[in-house]
Amino acid sequence: MSNIDTTPVLKTEHLGITFGGLKAVEDFNISIAPNELVGLIGPNGAGKTTVFNLLTGVYQPTEGRIELDGQEMKDKKPHQMAKAGIARTFQNIRLFKNLTVLGNVKVAFNQNMKYGIFQAILRTGGYWREEEEIDQKARELLSVFNMQDAADKIACNLPYGQQRKLEIARALATNPKILLLDEPAAGMNPTETAELMEAIRIIRDKFNIAILLIEHDMSLVMSICERIVVIDYGMIIAKGTPKEVANNPKVIGAYLGE
């Protein structure tokens, strides 16, 4: 559970972005404690994915600031955000389709590897050591998702549910402090969804990370998130425990369309 005394792992202050006069996200304030599981919900087009894009450096905010572990993240590109400890998945799965499952995960280990071009060409001890190490780590990571047997399959040949899981595994391979999941259950059937939600909880505990989750399905978010942030038209309209949020008239209005 969240603890008020610790530094938040992720904190934004007045975060906002304007696209040609249109304020897509405005005055977005959020503070996520280490190991917290937070849901970000809102109607279609409310700006949820835009928030993710801001947090991962895909867009540069026009206002406000982002802090990761108390450090300000300014003018950071997506790969720098990933290195700093923010990992993400995508709404429409983005895998390296023609690489193997194992290869997909290995790519994400790249930023924590050290051997250079010449060491690679000369196949020095460092090359072998690191490659062996990540091979093992990648397989371990896959086994968390029960996918160790699929390691040598080509990613695009996986069933849909496993593709989603692989994307999460890949994100975890970057060794994040916080994981952003963009509609991880989209397109899944109820059984798969329930399985995934269980997996998310396990990941949070096993890897000891915070998770921010976008989800459409209210009931699902309610069941696993400790705290929920609701946005509409780019602004936060409610925050609180699932119960508080569910009874908030603004939220009900946003979803039912007043």
Partner 1 sequence: MKNKKEIIKSYLINFIAIALMFVILMIATDAGLINRYVRGILMTIFINIILAISLNLTTGFLGQIALGHAGFMSIGAYSAALFVKYAQDTMGITLLQENGLTSAGLGFFLLSLLIGGGIAAVFGLIVGIPALRLKGDYLAIITLGFGEIIRSLIEYFPFTGGAQGLKKIPKLASSLNVVYIIMIVCVVIMFAFVRSRHGRAITAIREDDIASEASGIPNTHYKVMAFTIAAFFAGVAGGIYAQYLGVLGASSFGFMKSIDILVMVVLGGMGSLTGSILSAVGLTALPEMLRSFSDYRMLIYSVVLIIVMIFKPSGLLGTYEFSLTRLIDRIVHPGKHKKASTMKKEGAEIE
Partner 2 sequence: MELFIKQVITGIQVGSVYALVALGYTMVYGIVKLINFAHGDFIMVGGYMAVFSIPLLMNAGLPAWLCILAAVAVCTIIGIATEKIAYKPLRGAPSLSVLITAIAMSLFLENLALILFSSSPRPVNNIFNMPPVTIGNIQFSGVTVITIVFSVIIMIGLQIFIKSTRMGKAMRAVSEDGQAAILMGISTNRTISLTFAIGSGLAGVAAVMYCSAYPQVQPYMGSMLGLKAFIAAVLGGIGNIPGAMLGGIIIGLVESMTKGYISTQLADAVVFGILILVLLVKPTGILGKNVGEKV
Fill in the per-residue mask, 93 to 122: x = in contact with partner 2 (CB under 8 A), - = not in contact.
------------------------------
194 binds partner 2 (CB under 8 A): no
Instruction: For residue 185, count CB atoms less than 10 angstroms from its CB and return exposed for 0-12, middle for 13-18, buried for 19 or more.
Output: buried
239 binds partner 1 (CB under 8 A): no
Sheet-wide strand order for 86-88: 86-88, 178-182, 210-214, 37-41, 227-232, 235-240
Fill in the per-residue mask, 20 to 59: x = in contact with partner 2 (CB under 8 A), - = not in contact.
-----------------------------x---x----x-
From 235, 104, 232, select the one nearest 171 (Cα to Cα). Answer: 104
Please answer whether residues 167 and 90 qualify as being in contact, where contact means their C-beta atoms are separated by less than 8 angstroms. yes
Please answer whether residues 47 and 72 qualify as being in contact, where contact means their C-beta atoms are separated by less than 8 angstroms. no
Chain positions 58 to 97 lying near partner 2, rule: CB under 8 A, are 58, 90
Chain positions 171 to 230 lying near partner 1, rule: CB under 8 A, are 171, 173-174
The binder of 49, among partner 2, partner 1, none, by C-beta within 5 to 8 A per type, is partner 2
Query: CB 36 → partner 1: shortest distance, Å?
Result: 22
CA distance readout (Å), 164 to 10, 153, 185, 187, 212: 24, 15, 8, 10, 16
186 binds partner 2 (CB under 8 A): no
Residues counted in the chain: 258
Contact residue for partner 1 among 43, 78, 187, 240 (CB under 8 A)? 78
222 binds partner 2 (CB under 8 A): no
